[in-house]
């Protein structure tokens, strides 16, 4: 609709949540076109039924979030969205940071869940310079080891492109890359190994006082399908069987512990709880509040 009286843009793509003395900010970076052909390991008709029952568009759209942690005087990003690699409805993270008054040079560190393009593209500016010039970039060791290799000779075009992007981003930021080996990252932040989607895929457990939140990265891409059917993987999984096992393990844990989660591909703002539902699970979104 072209009439200027009708809005065509949402006014906000930022959400704050207090976890003890830490504030976690969701920055919605992209809303990407997906396909049910991405879904693996379950019958295609079952995936289609779940998508239809969710009352979401079919073919599906995939949300892409990044997260900013305010820890004392530190500003720590968890992943960086698509950035300069984006087209269409992507690359909104920088605007989200500007909307809350955070300049790129104010980012102290970037924690990487994994080195797929939609999680690291925002580390480079359009002129192929580092986007966050003052930030340390902490990458899990297994993730570095895998993506620093040449792409396998039999790699698909998609897989080869992922290696190319990883090589490009790591090279541009080579002076600020730090290898993350242990689980203790910084005060209030612990790495949680979630291998399968990629070899070093990691989540980050945020703890302050008696409150906790698990940033779980890419445990699911299409929650309306993969939560009720945890066997369902995606084409992007490097090791589909391990990704499935990890998904089932972490879903069981967060349900049992009533641990709040945040997901890079959960519908914005991507924060809530997981509960059991029939043979699988469902997502209970965090209730928005005007007060942080």
Cβ atoms of residues 270 and 261 within 8 Å? no
In the chain, where the domains are located: 14-285
Q: Which CATH class is domain 14-285?
A: alpha beta
pLDDT tens by residue, the chain, 292 residues: 455 566 677 778 899 999 999 999 999 999 889 999 999 999 999 999 999 999 999 999 999 999 999 999 999 999 999 987 877 666 899 999 999 999 999 999 999 999 999 999 999 998 899 999 999 999 999 999 999 999 999 999 999 999 999 999 999 999 999 999 999 999 999 999 999 999 999 999 999 999 999 999 999 999 999 999 999 999 999 999 999 999 999 999 999 999 999 999 999 999 999 999 988 999 999 998 888 9
């Amino acid at each position: 609709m072209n009439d200027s009286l009708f809005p065509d843009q949402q006014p906000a793509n930022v959400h704050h949540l207090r976890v003890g003395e830490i504030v976690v900010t969701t920055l919605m970076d992209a809303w990407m076109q997906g396909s049910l052909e991405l879904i693996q390991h379950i019958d295609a008709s079952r995936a289609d039924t779940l998508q239809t029952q969710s009352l979401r568009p079919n073919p599906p759209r995939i949300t892409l979030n990044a997260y900013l942690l305010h820890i004392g005087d530190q500003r720590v990003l968890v992943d960086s969205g698509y950035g300069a690699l984006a087209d269409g409805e992507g690359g909104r993270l920088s605007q989200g940071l500007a909307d809350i008054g955070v300049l790129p040079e104010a980012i102290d560190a970037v924690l990487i869940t994994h080195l797929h393009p939609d999680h690291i593209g925002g580390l480079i500016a359009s002129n192929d310079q580092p986007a966050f010039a003052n930030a340390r970039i902490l990458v899990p060791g297994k993730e570095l080891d895998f993506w620093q290799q040449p792409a396998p000779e039999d790699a698909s075009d998609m897989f080869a492109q992922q290696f190319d992007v990883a090589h490009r981003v790591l090279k541009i930021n080579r002076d600020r890359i730090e290898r993350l080996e242990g689980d203790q990252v910084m005060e209030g932040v612990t790495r949680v190994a979630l291998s399968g989607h990629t070899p070093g895929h990691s989540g980050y457990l945020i703890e302050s006082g008696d409150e906790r939140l698990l940033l779980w990265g890419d445990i699911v891409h299409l929650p309306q399908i993969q939560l009720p059917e945890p066997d369902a993987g995606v084409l992007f999984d490097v090791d589909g069987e391990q990704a499935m096992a990890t998904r089932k393990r972490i879903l069981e844990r967060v349900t049992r512990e009533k641990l709040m989660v945040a997901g890079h591909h959960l519908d914005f703002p991507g924060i809530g709880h997981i509960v059991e539902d029939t043979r699988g699970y469902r997502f209970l979104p965090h209730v928005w509040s005007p007060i942080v």
